[in-house]
């Protein structure tokens, strides 16, 4: 190993080789062209049934989390809704998982697979919640864990939320490599995988996505048991897309094809996540547009050649909320429902409050996750950090929120209004990215069929709305 070229260029050139050896999965087996591959076969080849996934997760304190009706919040929403409106709001309390978030589900299957295949340890690159989940699961399977975490800007300043998550990773026994923001993250991940021979427990492998399918499956079953029907809407916090993809696939497996899947992100338009200047000008490390939009319009990433998180395949609507609105709902959840949960995990709840006002009272809207809170993850710590970085924090109308400059917290519940995004615009952007991989003149009918599935449209839509407009 010592004779190998470990320069950035050389390591990145070995990406596919490293991925194959660190997972035991050859992505090239599924690829038919630069844009198309057999997604469903790739997912099936993980080899796990839903029954097996549920059993594996039960072994390590994951799953079977409670589904609560938020009665007081539902009543509050109905008071500000038109007559007959105000859907029942339920929350799936994923903070009850080992490690305190839904990411325990993604980690459970990846770590189990690593142990089954005989790897000595696991590696993951993450802002923190997933790292804690991987470390918690690995501790229970007697595997070592290395977490790579972007913590600091060039001044050596780290966000309290990220530092708290790193502390959690270390508490579960992980070695945490703390990096500055920039392109070195995935380089260091690849290098670490190559040097250790550990399993690649990436967020976006088929194992990571299959692990989340149990969440959607449980939601469908619990809602059916409680109300005698499937949920009308499930709201999912959207970042890299794995949460939404896995949940939607689980709902489908449970026989809930009519459930509307709504993705939600925090509005951080204008802030670049790889920018040293912008890194500490956000109050949420995930669940925001800086991940949600790029990962939707081109899912394939450095650490996974064929990303299993493909949100446009399953998303029916995409909503955006402001940081201030999330902080307001976080405080409200604590004060009227007695649930203190981390702000980032309340992103989808914020959108649900807005959506519930437009739905009938006999309809059901499920918020699909919560996450634990702690010293650095608490809204007070996050708002204090914002002020320290020159961001204005005040009460008022949240439409005045400016990402990176001001956080405007609503004064009244009726000011919480999510903004629906144009999914067709994102679909066209996705097709534009596909065209950069393979010129549209070379697209076969098989390519077009794959792309149609990937954006939840039929092939004719692509021909009429994209191909006919090309010069």
Distance from C-alpha of 234 to C-alpha of 248, rounded to nearest angstrom: 9
> What is the tens place of the pLDDT at every residue in 230-280?
999 999 999 999 999 999 999 999 999 999 999 999 998 877 766 777 777
Contact 366, 223 (CB under 8 A): yes
Contact 208, 104 (CB under 8 A): no
Cβ atoms < 10 Å from Cβ of 271: 18
Distance from C-alpha of 178 to C-alpha of 319, rounded to nearest angstrom: 32
Q: State how far the alpha carbon of 386 is from the alpha carbons of 14, 124, 392, 407, in Å.
A: 40, 28, 8, 9
Q: For the chain, what percent of residues have pLDDT higher than 90?
A: 75
Q: For the chain, what percent of residues have pLDDT higher than 70?
A: 99
Cut 0.85: pTM above it: yes
Q: Extract long-range pairs of 382-387: CB within 8 Å, 24+ residues apart.
A: 382/159, 382/160, 382/161, 382/283, 382/284, 382/327, 382/343, 383/283, 383/327, 383/407, 384/160, 385/159, 385/160, 385/280, 385/283, 386/283
Q: Which residues of 427-442 are buried (b: 16+ CB within 10 A; e: fewer)?
A: bbbbbeebbeeeebee
pLDDT at 382 over 80: yes
pLDDT bracket for residue 471 (50, 70, 90): low
Question: What is the reported pLDDT for 156?
Answer: 85
- Closest listed residue to residue 465, CA positions, set 448, 450, 444, 447: 448
> What is the tens place of the pLDDT at every residue in 419-428?
999 999 999 9
* Level-2 CATH architecture, domain 57-99+207-420: 3-Layer(aba) Sandwich (3.40)
Q: What is the mean pLDDT of the chain?
A: 93
């Amino acid at each position: 190993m010592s004779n190998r070229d470990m320069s950035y260029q050389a390591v990145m050139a070995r990406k596919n080789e490293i991925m194959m050896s660190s997972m035991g999965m050859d992505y090239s087996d599924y690829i038919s062209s630069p844009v198309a591959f057999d997604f469903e076969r790739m997912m099936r080849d993980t080899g796990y049934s839903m029954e097996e996934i549920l059993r594996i997760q039960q072994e390590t304190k994951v799953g079977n989390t409670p589904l609560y009706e938020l009665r007081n919040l539902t009543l509050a929403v109905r008071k500000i809704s038109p007559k007959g409106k105000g859907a029942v709001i339920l929350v799936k309390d994923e903070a009850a998982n080992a490690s305190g978030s839904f990411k325990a589900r993604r980690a459970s299957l990846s770590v189990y697979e690593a142990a089954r295949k005989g790897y000595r340890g696991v590696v993951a690159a993450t802002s923190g919640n997933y790292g804690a989940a991987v470390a918690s699961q690995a501790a229970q399977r007697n595997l070592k864990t290395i977490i790579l975490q972007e913590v600091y800007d060039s001044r050596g300043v780290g966000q309290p939320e990220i530092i708290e998550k790193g502390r959690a990773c270390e508490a579960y026994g992980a070695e945490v490599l703390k990096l500055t923001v920039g392109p070195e993250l995935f380089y260091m991940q690849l290098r670490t995988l190559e040097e250790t021979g550990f399993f690649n427990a990436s967020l976006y492998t088929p194992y990571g996505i299959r692990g989340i399918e149990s969440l959607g499956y449980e939601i469908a079953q619990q809602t059916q048991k409680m109300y005698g029907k499937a949920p009308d809407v499930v709201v999912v916090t959207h970042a890299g897309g794995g949460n939404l993809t896995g949940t939607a696939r689980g709902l489908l497996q449970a026989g809930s094809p009519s459930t509307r899947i709504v993705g939600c992100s925090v509005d951080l338009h204008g802030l670049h996540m790889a920018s040293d200047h912008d890194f500490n000008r956000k109050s949420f490390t995930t669940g925001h547009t800086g991940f949600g939009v790029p990962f939707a319009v081109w899912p394939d990433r450095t650490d996974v050649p064929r990303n299993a998180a493909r949100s446009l395949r399953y998303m029916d609507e995409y909503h955006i909320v402001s940081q201030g609105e999330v902080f307001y709902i976080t405080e409200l959840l604590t004060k009227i429902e007695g649930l203190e949960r981390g702000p980032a995990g309340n992103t989808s709840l914020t959108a649900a409050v807005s959506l519930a006002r437009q739905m009938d009272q006999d309809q059901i809207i499920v918020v699909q996750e919560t996450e634990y809170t702690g010293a650095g993850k608490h809204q007070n710590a996050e708002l204090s950090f914002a002020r320290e970085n020159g961001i204005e924090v005040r009460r008022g109308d949240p439409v005045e929120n400016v990402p990176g400059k001001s956080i405007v917290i609503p004064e009244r519940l009726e000011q919480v209004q999510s903004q629906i995004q144009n999914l067709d615009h994102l679909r066209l952007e996705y097709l534009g990215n596909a065209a950069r991989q393979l010129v549209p003149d070379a697209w076969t009918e098989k390519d077009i069929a794959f792309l149609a599935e990937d954006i939840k449209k039929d092939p004719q839509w692509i021909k009429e709305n994209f191909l006919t407009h090309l010069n």
